[in-house]
Structure 1
Amino acid sequence: MLAIQLTQYGEPEQSLKVVDLPEPQAPATGQALVQVEYAPLDHHDLLLARGVYPVRPELPSVIGNEGAGTVLAVGPDVTQVRPGDTVLLPFGTFSWSEQVLTEAAKLTAVDRSIGLEQAAMLSVNPTTAGLLVESRDLPAGSWVVQNAANSGVGRSVIAFARERGLRTINIVRRENLVTELQDLGADLVFVDHPDVATRVRAAVGGEPVLLGLDGVSGKATSLLLDVLTEGALLVLYGYMSGEPFAPDRNVLRAKNITTTEFWMYEDKYLPRHPALGAESARLVAEGRLTLPPAPVYRAADFPEALARLQQDGKVLLDFNPRRG
């Protein structure tokens, strides 16, 4: 069967290879055999390939952090899923392969109405957003501020916040995104500018802003610190700027702001993944969450997919040979 292996840590163009591997054995007790339908190729996959991601499998190894598939067979005593179910692949099951053998109890079955391409993108960005929104227990009506609001995580934060009765302040870099995010349910949208904090305060009055979500880091962090109020929590989850996380310590002390760095695969978060994956699927099915579409490439055309990713965001790899 076709798979994509990481052969050595280094530059993805040289280290990621399309290979032919034996098909998995029949599922044993507690296992399920899954036909991978679509699996994203994203920038965090490239970090893993370069050896700078917290996950470092022994090589050579298939990689791929998320995906969706169809259950082909289950082992004895498996009741959580059935053949034919559409499922999200769990953390620890590398997805870049036509078929995978995985622990059935960790699979999340989703409504097939949402589409396999959308399902393949549920396990990372929406789950991250759900965990970020849950970073602090806030009463309904509270404000959450985020940068990178147009990203896959940012759009999902808007949906999860609304689902929990929270309001969002969203910072973007282009004017044309304001109406688009408002249509998705964003409460306030501002274009990045030095006076954003002043405009936010005018919009929210004296209400506190106690949770900030930073997907950019670098200079963008200071803008969030300007918006956040006394006793807030600032969560760093991404480095889109490529710059280090270096918040102004004087501002942190003056406002008594706490900072923390987030990685969704910490042990404390893993038990929440299945429920948040299922909730993400429900929100998509109900039209409350729309994931940005991604171009699709046959897995066999991985070099072309990789070149596209490096030009313009996430792409999807199609692993089902029947669609060839």
Structure 2
Amino acid sequence: MLAIHLTRFGEPEKSLKVVDVPEPPAPVAGQALIQVEYAPLDHHDLLLAQGIYPVRPQLPSVIGNEGAGSVLAVGPDVTHVRPGDTVLLPFGTFSWSEQVLAEAASLTVVDKSISLDQAAMLTINTVTAGLLVEARDLPPGSWVAQNAANSGVGRSVIVFAKERGLRTINIVRRAELVSELEDLGADIVVVDSADAGARVRAVIGSDPVLLGLDGISGTATTLLLDVLTEGALLVVYGYMSGQPFTPDPERLEAKNIATTEFWMYQDEYLPRHPALNAESARLVAEGRLVLPSAAVFKAADFPEALAYLRKNGKVLLDFNPHRS
């Protein structure tokens, strides 16, 4: 059976290996055996491989932070899932293997109307977006501001915010994205520029903006600070710029803006994951949330997939050996 092992923490091109491993044993009570269909290869997987991510498995180990599969068999007394179900792999079940064992109670069954490739991308970006939108208890009609609005998380933030009656201010880097995100439900979309804050204020007037979501960091944080108002919360969840989070403390103090860093697997967030997984699946099934497509590579072609990721972005690994 094919799997991808992390052999040591360090450079992914040297430390991630396609290997042949024994098939898992039959599931025992409380377990399900799953054929992994697709599993993403994304930048957060590389952070784990480099030893930067908070999760550090004992090596060598299969890794892979999300994925979707088909249930092959279940252990005694398991009724939550059944053979043939399409399920999302939960946190702690590494996905880069043709077959995996998982705790059945942690699996989310998704509607067959959702394609397997879309299902494979439902447990990180969408759940992150749901948690970010809930970072502050805001009344309906409130504004949420974000950069990285065209990312997988950013697009999901727009949809989750709309579901909760919130309005979004979205900062993007390219003008052609404005109408695209407006079609998705974004209320305001502005192109990254020094006067972005003033242009937003010209639209919303004196309305408060009490939640900001920063997926870029570095100099991009400054634009969010221009948009946020007195007493706002700024949540830092990503560093797409490659720069650290170093806002001017005087700007934070002037508006009394609090900051916090976010990781979706903190203990306080874990109880919300199943419900947000289910909500994400429902939104996709209803056609209200469309996840960005990704190039597909057979898992055996992992080196080529990794090279593609480095140049172009997210990849889906196909782990079903029977799919041509």
Cα distance in 2 for residues equivalent to 1:281 and 1:12: 31
Deviation per residue, 1:108-137 (Å, 9 max, x gap): 001010100000000000000000000000
Superposition deviation, residue 74 in structure 1: 0.6
Are positions 1:292 and 2:292 aligned together? yes
Deviation per residue, 1:83-107 (Å, 9 max, x gap): 1110000000000000000100000
- 2:139 maps to 139
SS at match of 1:35: strand
Report the residue type matching 1:266 in the other structure: Q
SS at match of 2:136: coil
Cα distance in 2 for residues equivalent to 1:48 and 1:29: 30
Superposition deviation, residue 258 in structure 1: 0.6
Report the residue type matching 2:279 in the other structure: E
Are positions 1:204 and 2:204 aligned together? yes
Cα distance in 1 for residues equivalent to 2:77 and 2:269: 27
> Which runs of at least 4 in structure 1 moved beyond 4 Å after TM superposition?
none
- TM-score, length-scaled by structure 1: 0.99
Report the residue type matching 1:75 in the other structure: G
Gaps of 5+ in 2: none
- 2:73 maps to 73
Report the residue type matching 1:205 in the other structure: G
Cα distance in 1 for residues equivalent to 2:110 and 2:296: 21
Superposition deviation, residue 209 in structure 1: 0.3
Cα distance in 2 for residues equivalent to 1:81 and 1:251: 51
Report the residue type matching 1:94 in the other structure: F
Report the residue type matching 1:90 in the other structure: P
Are positions 1:90 and 2:90 aligned together? yes
SS at match of 1:197: helix
Superposition deviation, residue 252 in structure 1: 1.2
Cα distance in 1 for residues equivalent to 2:62 and 2:284: 29
Superposition deviation, residue 274 in structure 1: 1.0
Report the residue type matching 2:15 in the other structure: S
Superposition deviation, residue 254 in structure 1: 1.2
Higher mean C-alpha displacement, 268-277 vs 131-140:
268-277
Aligned residue runs from structure 1 range 116-135, under 5 A: 116-135=116-135
Superposition deviation, residue 251 in structure 1: 1.4
Cα distance in 1 for residues equivalent to 2:270 and 2:97: 23
- 1:281 maps to 281
Superposition deviation, residue 287 in structure 1: 1.1
How many residues end up aligned between the 2 structures? Answer: 324
- 1:4 maps to 4
Cα distance in 1 for residues equivalent to 2:86 and 2:120: 10
SS at match of 1:223: helix
Are positions 1:154 and 2:154 aligned together? yes
Cα distance in 1 for residues equivalent to 2:292 and 2:247: 30
Cα distance in 1 for residues equivalent to 2:159 and 2:72: 32
Aligned residue runs from structure 1 range 177-216, under 5 A: 177-216=177-216
SS at match of 1:321: coil
Cα distance in 2 for residues equivalent to 1:262 and 1:217: 13
Are positions 1:238 and 2:238 aligned together? yes
Report the residue type matching 1:102 in the other structure: A
Deviation per residue, 1:154-195 (Å, 9 max, x gap): 000000000000000000000000011011111000000000
Higher mean C-alpha displacement, 74-83 vs 122-131:
74-83
- TM-score, length-scaled by structure 2: 0.99
Cα distance in 1 for residues equivalent to 2:165 and 2:114: 24
Superposition deviation, residue 75 in structure 1: 0.5
- 1:164 maps to 164
SS at match of 2:18: strand
Gaps of 5+ in 1: none
Cα distance in 2 for residues equivalent to 1:296 and 1:27: 29
Superposition deviation, residue 255 in structure 1: 0.7
Deviation per residue, 1:2-38 (Å, 9 max, x gap): 0000001111111000000000000001000000000
Deviation per residue, 1:51-75 (Å, 9 max, x gap): 1111100000000000000011110
Report the residue type matching 2:203 in the other structure: A
Percent of aligned positions with the same letter in both sequences? 79
- 1:312 maps to 312
SS at match of 2:317: strand
Deviation per residue, 1:186-214 (Å, 9 max, x gap): 10000000000101111111110000000
- 1:103 maps to 103
Cα distance in 2 for residues equivalent to 1:206 and 1:313: 39
Cα distance in 2 for residues equivalent to 1:285 and 1:316: 20
Report the residue type matching 1:181 in the other structure: L
